[in-house]
Amino acid sequence: TDSLLVLQVRLVMKAHSFIRENVPRVLSSVKDKSSTVPIPRISQYLYFLFAPTLIYRDNYPRNPTIRWGYVATKFAQVLGSLFYAYYIFVRLCIPQFRNSSQETFNLRGLVLCIFNSILPGVLILFLVFFAFLHCWLNAFAEMLRFADRMFYK
């Protein structure tokens, strides 16, 4: 359900950007009674839906070719990050809570479990951010030949 919510928020943000960029152009051309109304093509909108950006433009800078080795490297980094996050979770987080489930509940034990899981949790968080924001978005940007990769600015 969380991933569905994230997807819906992303689509609402993209729809807002699309409407914000195109409605003023259409209204000004109608107001000026020009013969052509600048309506974007479906292909432009579909490209925008899959491009790793939230700002709509009719045209984006494009690379001439797709570097498939780069794409494979980024997907391998995503898989490596997921396996490493799984390893951290299994080796450092689960044993903490497995030991506490066999004992009677006390506040000291709960606080110790939480504090012992903070560092592994932060490492997993960094890995997820790296896997999605860096590797996943760069892989799809490369497959779409999207050249404007200023994700971090």
| Greater model confidence, 101 or 44 | 44
Q: Residue 121, Cα to own-chain centre: how many angstroms? A: 19
Q: H/E/C letters for each residue in 119-143?
A: HHHHHHHHHHHHHHHHHHHHHHHHH
Q: Are 112 and 48 in contact (CB under 8 A)?
A: no
- What pTM, to 2 d.p., does this model score? 0.73
Q: What residue ranges do the domains of the chain occupy?
A: 1-59, 61-152
User: Do 4 and 22 form a contact (C-beta atoms < 8 A)?
Assistant: no
Asked whether residue 2 carries a pLDDT value surpassing 80, the answer given is no
Average pLDDT score over the chain: 87
Number of Cβ within 10 Å of residue 59's Cβ equals 7
Q: Which amino acid is at 119?
A: L
